[in-house]
Every structure is written in C-alpha cells, then in structure tokens.
Structure 1
C-alpha cells in the first residue's frame, strides 16, 4: 500500500511541477503521458479506492496510443491544474467533451480544448495589457475578460429610458464598462460596478423598437447607484446565445464578489477566488469553440453560477470559504498539510502563464497551496459537498422532468385535471355541508355530540395529532405495499375540444367573474371602513354595541367554552328546531347589511411627466 501511494504522490507532484512551467508544455506533455496515467488511475480507482497492494501491477501496464479515459479519472487528476478544471465543474466539462464519444474522453478532443485555453489566455493577456480603460483600471489592477461591440455587424446597444446608444461593452473582474460610439471615437466609459455592495442584480430582458417588448436578446442591470435601470441589447440573427454568454459571465463576477464579501475573504485567498473566477470564464471561452452533441450551457461551466443553481450550493460555498480560511492560517503559520500533497495555486498558475494578478501575487510560495480539491485515497470535504449537491440536483431534475411531463394544454383540460385531483376534498366538503344543513338528522346529531364532547374535554389537539399520525401511517403502508410495482397513472376524462374562439370566450368569462368578486370585496371593505369611522352613526352604534358585548363575553368566559358555544351556534342553527328562527335572523342581518352605504371614494389619475430627459 505504501509503494502504490508513494507512486500516486510522485505522479501528482510531477503534474504540479509541469503545470507550473506553462500551459503550452502541459499541452505537449498531456499528448505523450497524461492520458496514459489518467487511464491507469481510473483502472486502479475501479479496483479499490484505498489503493490496495494487489493493484500495483496496473502501474506498469502498457496503454495504447488511442487510449481514452472516463469521468472518474478525469475528475480526480485534472482539477489539480487550476486553469483546466476545478472540482465543481469538472463533470460538466467532461460531459460536454464526450457527448459524441460515448462518455470516453479522446485525446484529440482534449487537445482542441487545451488549444482553446491557450487562445483564451493569449486573448486575456492582449486585452489586459492594452491601453483600453487603463486610467479606470489602474487602481485595482483589473483584468479585461471580454470585449464586445467593436464589430459594426455585431453592435451592443444601451437602452436608458427611451434613448438608445450603440457602443463598446467591456467586462473586467471588478466592473462592467460601456463606451458610447460617436463619429470616430468613443465617449468616456460609464462604469457599472460589480465588486461593491450596491444591491445589483442582472436579469434577461425583452427589447424592441419604441419601447416594445419583442426580442429576447438583452439583459437588465440595476443597482442603488442608478436612478433608472439600464438595458444592454446584444442583437443576433437567431437565438440569444450571445446575450446568455454575457449574462452568465457578468453574474459569475457578481457572485464571486458577493462570496468574498459574505465570508470576508482577504489577501492572497481573495486573489485566488478571483483568479478561479477568471479561469472559469476562460474555460467557457475555450468550450465555445468546440462543437458538441449537446448545446453549451454557460452557467454550468462557471463555478459560482453552478453553486447558485445546485441544491445545497450554499454548503459548497461554505466549504470553499472554510478551506480558504484554513489555508490562509496555514500560510501565516508556515504549517504543512498532513496529507503531504501540494497543488499549484491559481496565483502561481497565473504567474506561470505570463500575467500578474492582484496585490499579493508576488507573495513567495515555497511549496505551493496545500491541496484541498484532490486527495489520494479519499474524498475531500469539497468533493463530498459537490457530489451530494449533484446527487440532489439529479433528483430535482428528474422531479422537474416528471412535472413537465404531466403538464397539459388548454384551460378546459387543466380545469378537468384539477377537478379530478381535488375530488376527495370536494367530496369531503359535500358531506360536511350535508351534516351542517341536517339533511341526515341522525348523522348530524351524532357528529355534533362527538365534537361537543371533544371540545369540552380539550381533546381537539389530540384529534389533530391522531389525524396527522393516521396520514403518516397510511403513507408508510402504501409505500410498503406498492414497493416494486409501477405507479398507477391518474386517469382523467378529457373534455370536448374547444376551438380558439371558445377558449377566448372562456377566458373572458373567467375574467368577468374575477372582476365581480373583486368588486364585491371592495364593497365589503368600504362598508367596514364606513362602520369603523362612524360615517353612518346609526349602523356604527349597533355594530359597536355588538363588538362590546362580544368583548365582555370573551373576557370573562374561558376560551374553551367560547369555542364550544360558537360551534354549537353555527352547527345547530339549521337543525329542525332552529331552522325557521335562523332564516328569520339571516333575513334581518342581510337587510341591515344592505342598508349600509359604502364609503365614498375618488379616483385620481397621476399626471405623467412625458418630458424627455
């Protein structure tokens, strides 16, 4: 066991030393050696997670040049290279790269991915080293991650109010900049902060000519520092992939800074978090250039976007924050990990790629950041949190697929389904109504006596607890009896089909009924307002006397007897002995209520300021 573990440690350390040189050298090395070692590790991983001695023979196996690797080997080794993948999104990168190869990663596909990373790194360096926004970025050392709108055939349009301006949109690791295009030059850039706590939010938005909402190709940015929200439109011939890409990377920067503020991460670890965010955006840029059998989901390739969507993503972020704090303490005390494994940090990786980041990138790193993402023979807390969240996410996805599968179209069909689903409740309600109106006197009398005794003895809470226990027992018995059997489908009789005009008339009737209900509710509220404010003294006096008597009764009579008297009053008022008197009192009450006029109201229309700003 010690021999095998020592070989693994030497393998991982060798990979770290290689990645510290440059991405280009890793590219060449991967072609010759890394694919073989990934497959070797995968076969050992299938044999035993604890690296038993019986499997040391795999270390000397000969692997073909066309060998492929699976997801387990990929997710255990590749996260050791910060720019290629991390633990959170490595599974998605593998699924995207192997969508057309049956879940096995071929070297030719991975080579395209590495080449795309090289191009993304060169693009990042050229953009950040240019004079673009140099005066605004000099204080914080920002890196320019993406620029759009420089090509006339793909403009970026900024909408503020009713004004629209074409221009150039730039995203850095701290803010978003827009430069309006003039005749031959750009205006001074407008800054939209992503790093500060300004209650910002970004969401998809519809745009169109003259304020219409027709095209789903824009995003909206709003913060407390802006009086009006701004809308950035990224038009394209079909689809909205361009907008989705920008929306995802902007949210990634925004979520990263929220994470830093929430967990108060500073110093080297703050630079590490921002660099991992930048690496995630570079990975998405590399994946954009690769054709796949599945469409590229930009959010699924970005760490903080994934944590925002995954069930339990907050626990993943807490694990990352805990690791960051622990590594900062270890760095300050010059301690070493008990596992004996080291990984190159994102800051060191950035330096090896040829650019310096932040204020702490030059801090000496004698042996690298202690590994927390990968470990030999066991799963780290971060890997456990990610696996648990992805397992829960699969359950949520399956449940959502089942929900989408039972959705039906048409108002009449949905009403028919709802009617069948609530049939047990409506049937129970009909039976209670029959008891309430004493249509079957014997059953009504028995029900009244039983509930009177329960309320008098104060057993109502026990009855409720017994009902909940019965429901739980019913569910458990049903589960045990139906284990291994297919779920019975819920059958609904479909109503006769309705044409478009009939459906429109049904919607109009439903709206009219809803309007009538709202009107009746407003009338009740206005009458109560008139009673409370004594706008109509005679009715208000009677109402006040009734409230006063009720207050005295509730104050001096125990609440149990109050509930009992209310139950007997309401349940027995339609009994054969009290039916005639109840009808008489109801008539008098309605006459009194109808005699109360509603409090007057006046509708005032706001004067709209149509002046152009």
Structure 2
C-alpha cells in the first residue's frame, strides 16, 4: 500500500508483488520479492515510487530498442533479440579461432547465439548456435591472449556439436570482466528456459510461448535495472526466474509449481507476459 516515508510516497513489497501477479510488467510474480529488494536497496526501501517511474522509462526503452537481424538469418516465429554487442555504438566483441582473432557482432535471442565477423563494408553471414538443443549447456568462462596464451579472463567458450571446436568470444575491457559475466548470465538463462520446457514436457504452443515471454521480460527488466542502478554489485538472478531458482535451495519445487500453473493455461489471456510482449 502507498504510505508516507520522509514526506515522499513509497510502495510496499506486498503491494508490488500483488501488482506483479496482475500485470507482469515491472516484475514476475515468481521473483517479484527479489526484484523489489534489488530495486529498493539503494534507497533502503524508501522513495521507491519515485524511482519506479525511472525504472518504467528504462523498461520501455528496452522494449522499443531496435536491433538488426543477423546477416543471412531468418528468425523463427517468436524469436526476439535480447542483447547485442560489437556494433559501432556498443562495446567491441572478438571471436578467437586458434591463434587468429575476428572482431564482429554478437547477438543473443531466446533461441540462439549469432556471431557475424566484420567485413570491409558489412558483416559476413552469421554463425548460429542453437540454444534450444538438449545438450546446450556447455558454456563457461575462459581466458584468451596473443597466440592463444590464456592471459585475459574476459571471454566465454561454448562447446557444441554444431562446430568442430568451441566458440570462443572475448569481451575486451580495461579492468573487470563485467561484460563477460553479464553475457554468461543471459546465455545461461536462455539455456535454462529451454531445459525447463524439455524437462516438464511443455508441448502446447501457447504454454511454451508464455514461458518464453516470461523469461524475455525478465531479461528486459534486468537491462532496465542496470541502466537505473548503475552498480556492479547488482544480482542479475533476482530478475531472471530460471537462473534464480537454479541457484536457490528447493528451487526445483518452485519450478514444478510453475510448470503446473503454466499447463493450466490453454488460451491467450490479457495482461499475461505473452500479451505484454506482443502488445
């Protein structure tokens, strides 16, 4: 409920969770408590209503941001771009193949990873890594350097039978490995999304897409929170339902209950994650 705190309007955790159960825009009811705690931590749970307006602006920007489809790729139905780097207005991305390095554009969707090597005037045809495969779980941090020497701990390696050797992508930055860690987090969330669908045998297209939509919205919320809070200590799992309950004790019980709830949905509903994402 709304109340006065230091002469400024705020909102309580219970009200935030309740509202998220009705309209899953600011948070998903499954992890709304964790989202609320993260968003209100800088102000000690005070003045949240004021900050909520800024959060909403960043969230709308995440929805509206336009990214180009990777070169030579035709997206599948309901495939959404979740994150891109390596463009002229974002940070540099480099693919390492043995002792050679190729700068390019790296794209994550709710279905796959795409890397496009930079050409003279445009990008080359994208290499696609399917994240919906049952064996899509071999992503890990790794180090790169000149002539293959493991000097800089700022890369990821993804092992897949689709390629003859691991896909190694570096996210160069001067000091920390924040960018690499952020990409690892997002990729793991997408992998866990598909693992959830396979584990609980969700075959109904409406139910499967609702799960996709809830995960996609979680990633957009994380982008918005990073823009709002601007702190490196932000816990991304508090916005990502599958990663959160992969880490929490007894998280498998929550996932089982979520699957039971999803399987009760047999038609599209207003104010669902699906309807919010597709407008």
2:237 is aligned to 299
Q: Match of 1:276?
A: 214
Relative to structure 1, is the Cα distance of residues 212 and 300 closer, same or farther in structure 2, using a 3 angstrom cutoff?
farther
Match of 1:289 in 2: 227
Give the 3 Å change call, closer, same or farther, for CA 293–104 of structure 1 in structure 2: farther
Distance 1:233 1:121, change over 3 A: same
Shift in CA distance, 294/73, structure 1 to aligned 2, threshold 3 Å? farther
Shift of 1:167: 0.6
* C-alpha separation in 1, matches of 2:29 and 2:78: 28
Conservation of the 8 A alpha-carbon contact between 1:157 and 1:234: yes
Secondary structure at 1:299's aligned position in 2?
helix
CA distances 1:262-296 after superposition (whole Å, capped 9, x unpaired) = 11213101010001111011001101111367721
Partner residue of 1:114? 56
**For the residues of structure 2 that align with 1:245 and 1:319, how far apart are their CA atoms?**
28
Contact 1:200–1:224 (CA<8 Å) still a contact in 2? no
Could you tell me which residue of structure 2 aligns to residue 372 of structure 1? none
Q: Cα–Cα, structure 1 residues 344 and 64, in superposed 2: closer, same or farther, change >3 Å?
A: farther
Task: Give 1:79 shift.
Answer: 3.7
Task: Give the whole-Å Cα distance in 2 for the aligned partners of 1:309 and 1:181.
Answer: 37
1:87–1:152 Cα change, 3 Å: closer
More helix as a share of residues: 1
Query: Separation in 2 of the partners of 1:88 and 1:230?
Result: 33
Contact 1:206–1:215 (CA under 8 A) maintained in structure 2 = yes
Report the alpha carbon displacement of residue 71 of structure 1 after superposing the two structures with TM.
Answer: 1.9
Where do residues 107-146 of structure 1 align in structure 2 (5 Å cutoff)?
107-123=49-65, 126-127=66-67, 130=68, 132-133=69-70, 136-146=73-83
Cα-to-partner distance string for 1:106-162 (whole Å, 9 max, x where unaligned): 222111100110110111xx22xx4x2375234434211211101388311111222
Does the C-alpha gap of structure 1 residues 265 and 210 become closer, same or farther in structure 2, counting only changes over 3 Å?
Answer: same
Q: What does residue 376 of structure 1 align with? A: none
Q: Which residue of 2 aligns with 1:202?
A: 139
Q: Which one is further off, 146-155 or 226-235?
A: 146-155
Asked if the contact 2:154/2:171 (under 8 Å) is kept, the reply is: yes
Aligned to 1:172: 109
Distance in 1 between the 2:62 and 2:217 partners? 10
Equivalent runs, 1:8-23 vs 2, <5 Å: none
Partner of 1:222: 159
Deviation at 1:235, TM superposition (A): 0.7
Match of 2:108, SS state, is strand
Query: SS in structure 2 opposite 1:327?
Result: coil
Q: Are the aligned partners of 1:100 and 1:293 in contact in 2 as well (CA < 8 Å)? A: no
Q: What SS is found at the alignment partner of 2:229?
A: coil
Q: Is the contact made by 2:115 and 2:128 (CA closer than 8 Å) also made in structure 1?
A: yes
User: What is the Cα-based RMSD across aligned positions, in Å?
Assistant: 2.5
1:76 and 2:18 matched: yes
Q: Is the 8 A contact 2:5 2:46 kept in 1?
A: no
SS of the aligned residue for 2:107 comes to strand
* 2:2 counterpart SS class: helix
Distance 2:5 2:228 in 1: 27
Counterpart among 178, 184, 209 of residue 241 in structure 1: 178
Question: Is 2:271 aligned against 1:344?
Answer: yes
Q: Which has the higher contact order (CA 8 A, sep 6+)?
A: 2
Q: CA deviation at 1:86?
A: 1.0
Higher strand share goes to which structure?
2
> Highest CA radius of gyration, 1 or 2?
1
* 8 A Cα contact 1:71 1:104, kept in partner: no
Within-5 A mapping of 1:421-570: none
Q: TM-score, normalised by structure 2?
A: 0.90
Per the alignment, residue 327 of structure 1 pairs with 265
Equivalence map 1:356-395=2 (5 Å): none
Distance across 1 between alignment mates of 2:230 and 2:121: 40
**Structure 1 unmatched ranges of 5 or more:** 1-37, 41-61, 333-341, 353-613
Which secondary structure state, in structure 1, belongs to the residue aligned with residue 263 of structure 2?
Answer: helix
Aligned counterparts of 1:279 and 1:305: Cα–Cα separation in 2: 14
How far apart, CA to CA, are the structure 1 residues paired with 2:253 and 2:90? 44
